[in-house]
Structure 1
């Protein structure tokens, strides 16, 4: 009798491990899809240095599902400008962090994208595709006034994007324990240029 119940307990442990693996394997397969920064461009106005770039493969299937279920999604972008070519260390001359936040209202069937670095008011759209584009495309971002750059000096622009941790109500934390698999963080992308 004791042997049978011990065998049952071991069998239950195997089932629990199997169920956990079933949840983790699809998540790890999705996690292999790595977000990347593409189409980095530098431009300038008469007074300022600007940058443009896109983040590709940021929205995984699970992140799409979370957004469509009304869970707010925030991307953070880190843009740093260094003066290079010195004998010792690069000198940081500009350090910017911007955020974009996506929220879906299922009652109105519309998406709201807040980009405070671009505009104070959220952009409202019924199109999920347009909302995702607004989240992942950075344009006309002011990096530094041109009068702070020196003609002929070398500089390096570094860019990184990150999905901020999803904040859920406490009641959902136990149900959606795999939410950490939605996290992404790109590598640093570097652009070297001479002003």
Structure 2
């Protein structure tokens, strides 16, 4: 039995090493178009300040290969809301990290996506296109109740996104050193508004 298990581990290591040494994986954002935030907007409902945003160019060919291979992948979104003050340093009113985690089930041929900020069961979709849209979009995130804002004050919302982790079995964690070549992190995107 140990011999068979060792052969399985060897085969998995060989496949992952081959996959991660592929020239597509070794070309980082420097050689391709870097991921970036787009379509960011800040608006309000009757009770909350809402943030909308999208990430473009996050689903590169190399990231798609990792996802299709069944490795759970997490995108993190960092969003802050500061009150802009002229004399004192800005005051942070809200600072959140939202996560979207995707896992492809090769047997059922479906993608399962869990969003940390949605109080619902994981979403299941059949196409990579649907999964990509859900993974790269924040729609109507309630960053703060309007009642916590002061009339006549100025505020700043900042956001960025990052491919935060790839979850591998424990005995394969050393491969993360190679996987760091395909991670991305966007620049901060900022919107100022008056209330």
TM range, smaller chain = 0.7 to 0.9
TM-superposed deviation, 1:169: 2.0
| Match in the other structure for 1:41 | 41
Which residue of structure 2 lines up, in the alignment, with residue 29 of structure 1? 27
Q: Choose 176-185 or 127-136, whichever is displaced more.
A: 176-185
* Match in the other structure for 2:167: 167
SS of residue in 2 equivalent to 1:119? coil
1:25 offset after TM fit, Å? 6.1
User: In 2, are the aligned partners of 1:162 and 1:184 still within 8 Å (CA)?
Assistant: yes
CA distance in structure 2 between the partners assigned to 1:78 and 1:120 by the alignment: 21
TM-score w.r.t. the length of structure 2 is 0.82
Contact 1:36 1:56 in 2 (8 A): yes
Q: SS of 1:62's equivalent?
A: helix
Give the structure 2 partner of residue 142 of structure 1: 142
Deviates more, 1:183-192 or 1:99-108: 183-192
1:47-58 superposed matches below 5 A: 47-58=47-58
SS at match of 1:31: coil
Shift in CA distance, 117/179, structure 1 to aligned 2, threshold 3 Å? same
Q: What is the TM-score normalised by the length of structure 1?
A: 0.82
Contact 1:24 1:178 in 2 (8 A): no
Report the equivalent of 2:4. Answer: none
Q: Aligned-pair distance for 1:95?
A: 0.9
Offset, 1:116: 2.7
Q: Alignment partner of 1:168: what SS?
A: coil
Q: CA deviation at 1:86?
A: 2.6
Stretch deviating more after TM superposition (27-36 or 50-59): 27-36
Name the CA distance, whole Å, in 1 between partners of 2:96 and 2:170: 32
Q: Distance in 2 between matches of 1:88 and 1:114?
A: 39
Q: Distance in 2 between matches of 1:145 and 1:175?
A: 43
Q: RMSD in angstroms over aligned alpha carbons?
A: 1.9
Does residue 29 of structure 2 align to residue 64 of structure 1?
Answer: no
Contact 1:160–1:185 (CA<8 Å) still a contact in 2?
yes
Unaligned runs of 5+ in 1: 1-22
Q: Aligned residue for 1:79?
A: 79
May I ask how many residue pairs the two structures share in their alignment? 173
For 1:176 and 1:147, locate their aligned partners in 2 and report how far apart those are by CA, in whole Å: 44
